[in-house]
Chains A and B, each alone.
Chain A
């Protein structure tokens, strides 16, 4: 499969064409180029997928990127089954989002439209680079690339100060995580002498100290919490809603936030050899899942609900990684990509229909007016809530089953999170589509154009049946195709993992039965409660107020980190800068001015004077040589 290195080049080409010719291309052409390159990349990814399925893992060594002393870091791509799965998700879902964007963004004028598409392409390119990189450095390039693109796209409407602040927040939060990643890479170079995946993993377990591995994996985890929005760096993701809705879909579903999951899954061997880090990953994931779910319960902005739901779902993925369910985590990435893209695009469709009103308290009763959106959103909600046989059920169940094996407490907390997920998703559903319309009575929302509904339908189909690639053994033995496919990537890690006794089949049946029953109950409660306009628009109070304000985490960060830093900054500005550095710099300038004013007198234009200087200099030089010789 020689075509693999071309895949990331296609979106790059799209980025360059759209970016450079943005004043010349028509909107239609821009849309065709932007979506077309991703479509071609998708087709190629499919070929790569088939090739990998036949058992081909390939490393493409393109050129030497960094070569210092003994350290050689080639620019290499590694294509194996994990990469192939991510390639399909990124290009597939990415393509649908591109198509959707052509309709969603049609109000923009041409240069901005092209700018938007070039950013989208660049985003896809960076993400492809990230998942195809054959070593941590190439991965880091993609890692930084998605950070940059998220900044550009979140701040796409850059005339709005608030959006710019959100973009900066995303960028800075990511930078904090990136520092952790970078330290991990340096540490890795020191310990292993290389950053290539294959070279690092063949040295394991070897005689590398557990401390070093734990340190490296924890630093990588910091990077992952930044990119994948986990505690403590998750606050940027909800603010990232400032960008256009398809961008949110792209960030949340296909790219960016899955980077952290991918990175940890890729480093599975490292993590398995550092059990402490595994525990940290699991706890961070679980805590994030619960925290974000509680916040999502009380949000009124439709996109905010979805944003916190993403954070929460990512928490589940981390939980899965932390308990060793790497396949489950990747599986959940995949299903989550389907239904979260669906939900975001559906939300985009609603917002589009409601003239950019995002507050759910002004929705209601849209079921009739937006039939396709309604149907697809319902499928998305069922999928995320984990109702069988929709895709979310399978992936979440797999993670929770592994969590139960590792520690039943994880399982119980996980199920509570899942119940909250079901509750807030159906709260969203009910507030948006059921009950009476609480919006502006003067206009009737109407269904979105085909370019928006077709991706919705495709994603709805995927959300509905996407879980069938990973049917658990409980239902049908040896039907977990994804697990078989990914097995080569995780087989080394499985050797070193502490094996738990799998629960008896009867226990599993009972767990699934109970949790599904509870979820169904919660769904009915949510629908019943929030179809009622009075309940839907009620002001939150007490704990609800606390949740609506997101646990005051932003305020806490502001008070604990931002304010002291600002104070320090203003201190430096007022004291150190003004009286220290400025005075020093000005002093140097004044000293030079003064001395040059004095020295200028020597430049009299008097030839005799010059000659005298020359002779004196010669005397001194000879004297010096004479002195040195003695």
Chain B
């Protein structure tokens, strides 16, 4: 299966995420769109990790760890995403408490 397939799939999901961020005004859905984009990136990382691994296996069959960095990056991205979501949702809660709305256009004023 060509690597292009995964590439295109990731691009499509990523673009859907971008479109979601652009079109929706609900902050939570915007947030979810960002998660979509992150996952598209993760998918691509894993695909390239696999590619590197299988190519290294030809040169050096004993090295099982070749290309594992990609998967570890995905792992760290998940870590960061989890932290980000916790803080982001806290901000949304805070925002809802203040303006009783989660419309991002209410965030155009940084003061008051």
- Asked whether the complex places CB atoms of A and B closer than 8 A, the reply is yes
Please give the residue numbers on chain A whose beta carbons come within 8 Å of chain B beta carbons, in ascending order: 604-608, 611-612, 615
Q: Are A605 and B22 in contact (CB under 8 A)?
A: no
**In the complex, are the beta carbons of A607 and B22 less than 8 A apart?**
no
Question: Does the CB pair A605–B109 fall under 8 Å?
Answer: yes
Is the Cβ of A608 less than 8 Å from the Cβ of B25?
yes
Question: Which of these binds chain A: B41-49, B52-60, B100-108?
Answer: B100-108
| CB of B28 within 8 Å of the partner chain | no
The answer to whether the Cβ of B16 comes within 8 Å of any Cβ in the partner chain is no
Question: Cβ of B108: which chain A residues have Cβ within 8 Å of it?
Answer: 604-607
B18 within 8 A of A: yes
Which residues on A sit within 8 Å (CB–CB) of B109?
605
Task: Verify B107–A607 contact, CB threshold 8 A.
Answer: yes
The complex places the Cα of A604 from the Cα of B109 at a distance, in Å, of 11
CB distance from B17 to the nearest CB of A (A): 11
Cβ-closest chain B residue relative to A604: B108
Q: Which residues of B contact A605 (CB under 8 A)?
A: 108-109
- Rounded to whole Å, the gap between the CB of A466 and the closest CB of chain B is 84
Please determine whether B104 and A607 come into contact, CB atoms closer than 8 angstroms.
yes
Q: Using Cβ atoms and an 8 Å threshold, which residues of chain A touch B107?
A: 607
Task: Give CA–CA (A606, B22) in the complex, Å.
Answer: 11
- Within B1-24, the residues touching A (CB, 8 Å) are 18, 21-22
A607 and B18 form a contact (CB under 8 A): no
Assuming A606-B108, A607-B107, what are 7 further A-B pairs, CB within 8 angstroms?
Answer: A607-B104, A607-B108, A608-B22, A608-B25, A611-B22, A612-B22, A615-B18
Q: How far is the CB of A622 from chain B (nearest CB, A)?
A: 11
> How far, in angstroms, from A612 to B25 measured CA to CA in the complex?
13
How far is A606 from B18 in the complex, measured between Cα atoms in Å? Answer: 16
Q: Is the interface of A mostly helix, strand, loop or mixed?
A: helix
Q: Residues of B with Cβ closer than 8 Å to A?
A: 18, 21-22, 25, 104-105, 107-109
Q: Give Cα A611 to B25, complex, Å.
A: 12
Bound CA–CA A588/B25 (angstroms): 40
Contacts of B105 in A (CB 8 A): 606-608
User: Closest CB of chain A to B8's CB: distance in Å?
Assistant: 15
Q: How far is the CB of B33 from chain A (nearest CB, A)?
A: 10
Please indicate the chain A residues that have their CB under 8 angstroms from the CB of B104 in the complex. 607-608
A sample of 17 cross-chain residue pairs with beta-carbon separation below 8 angstroms, ordered by A number, consists of: A604-B108, A605-B108, A605-B109, A606-B105, A606-B108, A607-B104, A607-B105, A607-B107, A607-B108, A608-B22, A608-B25, A608-B104, A608-B105, A611-B21, A611-B22, A615-B18, A615-B22
Q: Which 6 pairs between the two chains have the least Cβ-Cβ distance?
A: A605-B108, A607-B104, A611-B22, A612-B22, A615-B18, A611-B21
Most B CB contacts (10 A, CB to CB) among A605, A607, A611 go to A607
- Please report the C-alpha to C-alpha distance between residue A605 and residue B25 in the assembled complex, in whole angstroms: 14
C-alpha gap A606/B104 in the complex (Å): 8
Please give, as numbers and ranges, the residues of chain B lying within 8 Å of A608 by CB-CB distance.
22, 25, 104-105
Please give the distance in Å from B42's CB to the nearest CB on chain A: 20
Residues of A within 8 A of B25 (CB): 608
List, in ascending order, chain B residues with CB within 8 A of A612's CB: 22
Distance in angstroms from B7 CB to nearest chain A CB is 14
Q: Which residue of A lies closest to B23 (CB)?
A: A608
Complex: chain A residue closest to B106, CB-CB: A607
Q: In the assembly, what is the distance between CA of A364 and CA of B35, in Å?
A: 108
Q: How far is the CA of A605 from the CA of B18 in the complex (A)?
A: 19
Residue of A whose beta carbon sits closest to that of B18: A615
Q: How far is the CB of B39 from chain A (nearest CB, A)?
A: 19
Q: Please, how many angstroms separate the alpha-carbon atoms of A608 and B105 in the complex?
A: 8
Task: Report the bound CA distance from A604 to B105 in whole Å.
Answer: 10
Q: What's the Cα separation between A608 and B21 when bound, in Å? A: 8
Looking at the assembled complex, report how far the CB atom of B22 sits from the nearest CB atom of chain A, in whole angstroms: 6
Tell me which residues across on chain A come within 8 A of B21, comparing CB atoms.
Answer: 611
B72 to chain A, nearest CB (A): 27
**Given the complex of chains A and B, what is the CA–CA distance between A445 and B69 in angstroms?**
106
With CB as the reference atom, state the residue of chain A lying closest to B104: A607
Question: Whole-angstrom distance between the alpha carbons of A605 and B109 in the complex?
Answer: 7
Give min CB distance, B110 to chain A, whole Å: 9
Residues of A within 8 A of B22 (CB): 608, 611-612, 615
A539 to B82 Cα, complex, angstroms: 107
Which residue in chain A gives the minimum CB-CB distance to B105?
A: A606
Q: When chains A and B are docked, how far (Å) is the Cα of A2 from the Cα of B109?
A: 73
A607 neighbours in B (Cβ, 8 Å): 104-105, 107-108
Q: In the assembly, what is the distance between CA of A612 and CA of B21, in Å?
A: 9
* Smallest Cβ-Cβ distance to A605: which chain B residue: B108
Nearest to B15 among chain A residues (CB) is A615
Question: How far apart sit A612 and B18, CA to CA, in the bound complex (Å)?
Answer: 9
Chain B residues near A604 (CB-CB < 8 A): 108
A122 to B109, CA, bound (A): 62
Q: Least Cβ distance of B15 to chain A in Å?
A: 10
Which residues does chain B contribute within 8 Å of A606, judged by CB atoms? 105, 108
> How many angstroms from the CA of A532 to the CA of B55 in the assembled complex?
123
Separation of A607 and B104 alpha carbons in the complex (Å): 7
Chain B residues in 8 Å Cβ range of A615: 18, 22
A597 and B110 CA atoms in complex are apart in Å by: 23
Tell me which residues across on chain B come within 8 A of A611, comparing CB atoms. 21-22
Closest to A607 in B: B104
Bound-complex Cα distance A605 to B105 (A): 8
Tell me the complex Cα distance, A73–B8, Å: 68
A615 CA / B22 CA spacing, docked (Å): 9
Q: How far is the CB of A611 from chain B (nearest CB, A)?
A: 6
In Å, the complex CA distance between A615 and B104 comes to: 17
Complex Cα distance, B104 from A605, in Å, reads 11
Q: How far is the CA of A536 from the CA of B65 in the complex (A)?
A: 118
A603 to chain B, nearest CB (A): 10
| Measured CA separation A607–B18 after assembly (Å) | 14
Nearest-neighbor residue (CB-CB) of B109 within chain A: A605
Measured between alpha carbons, how far is A620 from B15 in the docked complex, in Å?
15
| Cα–Cα, bound, A321→B21 (Å) | 89
Expressed in whole angstroms, the Cα–Cα distance for A611 and B105 within the complex equals 12
Measured CA separation A615–B16 after assembly (Å): 13
The answer for the CA separation of A307 and B18 in the assembled complex, in Å, is 88
Q: What is the CB-to-nearest-CB distance from B35 to chain A, in angstroms, rounded to a whole number?
A: 16
Separation of A611 and B108 alpha carbons in the complex (Å): 13
A608 to B107, CA, bound (A): 11
